[in-house]
Amino acid sequence: MTDYFPGIDTIAYEGPTTDNALAFRHYNADELVEGKSMREHLRFAAAYWHCFCNGCADQFGGPTRTMPWEDADPMQTARNKVDANFELCTKLGIEYYCFHDTDVAPEGETLAESFANFDEIAAYLKAKQDETGVKLLWGTANCFSHPRFVHGAGTSCNADAFAYAAAKIAKAIEVTHALGGEGYVFWGGREGYKTLLNTDMGRELDHLAALLKMAVEHKKKIGFTGQFYIEPKPKEPTKHQYDSDAAACFAFLQKYGLENDFKMNIEANHATLAGHDFQHELEFSAINGILGSVDANRGDLMLGWDTDQFPTDIRETTLAMLSILGAGGFTTGGLNFDAHVARESIDPVDLFHAHIGAMDAFARGLKNAAAIRAGGKLDAFKKERYGSWDTGIGAQIEAGQLDMDALKAYMLDKGEVDANASGRVEMLENLLNDYI
């Protein structure tokens, strides 16, 4: 094994009282929760782009992070990053990783050269997967960074940009398939607009749907059975992204008859940018049968952009795991840490502190959520709150037995509604805190 993280051993579970910063306090991979190991519940994944490609440059300055895998030759850098990825995942006990085509292999002078680079690195990724047992959770294509995608990809006014994106996506799906990837993500990138003064929204959305339909056909053609996901985000880089939240995505998918081919990849920071709680997006997806995977990060509510911080808020992870467990848990999806270290966290070891904290935060969230479910008080409260729908008039309405005339007659006769009960918001908030 290479040694990009010298002096760091395999990270072990040492329990909540340990002094060791490089140990898990709560994530104990084989510990059973609701009859399933934490490893199987949480299905952690490392995000290639943030771990190995993001030097933490910002608008005011260049990269600050020491990235010892960088070499003057971009293909050598690419091979080094593969080594670093598998070293990181193995040492942390992270079983999955995720990538964009351009994260793993440099773009060439031509599309053909880019594909050749991608194939070469994919073969190396495959060898390292076989050697370590680390697997690909999902792949994706970057159809937003290059200037050719200035007007978008699937929604570009330039038909050639659409064609280029289709070529990249086809290739990325093929490579994901070859690597045994369990899913493939579509994040809108620049699929949106800056101003309606230059934008034909209806036509752009038709084009986006056409691109996704082609992807579904391509998937079938090559025999890829992994799950397709859409990752909602309301803004950034465009002012308005078409896939703005789970509800907008679901409406779009239904309009174009794509609702059985896609699930959601819900990102915590995108949810808050959309003005929703993380849990709202998870719960909306769960009730519609489209909860697929999660980009597990956190935003900063003081800031209006995608800060992609590692998740550390136990209340958030608890509520998220409550919805995920409620939906029956992950099948093809998992928790991908779409997060980067802070610009001032400049050492390779900081990647370990970041992942350890995030994995512990979700381990606590999982245990808390399981305890809440076992306690049964929240469920019982909700059940009772809707009691008026279980019998009498409520049950008849739910069964579709009554029309408006019947309800008019019912209410004229009864005169006033039965007394409302308190929603007990504060009591329930206190109850939640009992578990955190």
Residues in the site for ligand XLS, rule: CB under 6 A? 100, 140, 185, 187, 231, 233, 267, 295, 306, 338
Residue in the shown chain whose Cβ atom is closest to ligand XLS: 187
Among 306, 348, 354, 435, which residue sits at the site for Ni ion (rule: CB under 5 A)?
306
Of 87 and 295, CB closest to ligand XLS:
295
Residues of span 72-91 touching Ni ion by CB under 5 A? none
CB atoms within 10 A of CB 251: 11
Measured from the CB atom, the residue of 283 and 295 that comes closer to ligand XLS is: 295
Least spacing, CB of residue 103 vs Ni ion, in Å: 12
Residue 174 or 338 having the CB closest to ligand XLS: 338
Binding residue (CB under 5 A) for Ni ion from 295, 296, 319, 334: 295
List of residues 6+ apart from 21 with CB closer than 8 A: 353, 356
Residue positions counted in the chain: 436
Q: Smallest gap, in angstroms, from Cβ of residue 168 to ligand XLS?
A: 12
CA distance 133 to 316: 30
List the single partner that 140 binds among ligand XLS, Ni ion, none, CB under 5 to 8 Å by kind: ligand XLS
C-alpha distance from residue 231 to each of 122, 169, 174, 196, 278 (Å): 24, 15, 20, 23, 13
Contacts with Ni ion by CB under 5 A: the residue count is 4
Q: Which is nearer to ligand XLS, 100 or 364 (CB)?
A: 100
397's CB contacts (< 8 A; 6+ apart) are 389, 407
Positions annotated as catalytic residues are: 100, 103
CB of 231 to ligand XLS, least distance (A): 5
Closer by beta carbon to ligand XLS, 4 or else 138: 138
Quick one: which of 245, 267, 316, 360 contacts Ni ion (CB under 5 A)?
267
Task: Note whether 395 and 389 are within 8 A (CB).
Answer: yes
Count CB atoms within 10 A of the CB of residue 222.
Answer: 12
Taking CB under 5 A as the rule, does residue 103 contact Ni ion?
no
Backbone angles phi, psi at 312, to 5 degrees: -135, -5
CB of 231 to Ni ion, least distance (A): 5
Q: At what angle do helices 349-375 and 377-385 cross, to 10 degrees?
A: 60
CA angle 237, 240, 245 (to 5 degrees): 100
Taking the complex as a whole, how short is the minimal distance between the CB of residue 187 and ligand XLS, in angstroms?
A: 4
185's contact among Ni ion, ligand XLS, none, with CB below 5 to 8 A by partner kind, is ligand XLS
Place of tokens 């395999």: 10
Task: Please spell the DSSP secondary structure of 222-243, one letter per residue.
Answer: HT--SEEEEE--SSSSSSEESS
Which of 44, 338, 362, 367 touches Ni ion by CB under 5 A?
A: 338
Residues that bind Ni ion (CB under 5 A): 267, 295, 306, 338
